[in-house]
Amino acid sequence: MEEEKIEVKEENNVSSKNRFTTLMLCWFLGFFGIHRLYIGKLGSGFLMAYGTIITVLMLFMCLPIGLMCLITMAAFVANDFFALAFGHLKDCYGKYVCSDKLY
């Protein structure tokens, strides 16, 4: 029987970014990628903002394709939200965003 490897989140492997703040940014402004910009992932944050702009344009131009884009963007936001809620999302330095400390 194989032993399961449990990943230990040490203090030096925890991001300084607040998880609650990131969750609220993801919940309210997730489609614009603001939560990703907050944790330092600039490339994917701007890509999500660009994707949202394209989605809105596609909704006006061709409704079926726009809806597919909207569902895709919603899947990205939901993935980030649940990864944050369970403490599995990493910041730009590879550290887990799971700290709820208020400074």
The rounded distance, in Å, linking the Cα atoms of 83 and 19 is 11
Domain ranges of the chain: 14-85
Tell me which residue of 7, 5, 2, 4 sits closest to 86, measured CA to CA.
Answer: 7
The rounded distance, in Å, linking the Cα atoms of 86 and 57 is 33
pLDDT score for 101: 76
CA distances (Å), origin 44, targets 9, 25, 47, 77:
24, 15, 5, 12
* Interval 4-18 mean pLDDT: 71
pTM higher than 0.85: no
Q: pLDDT per residue over 53-71, tens digit each?
A: 999 999 999 999 999 999 9
* Interval 75-90 mean pLDDT: 95
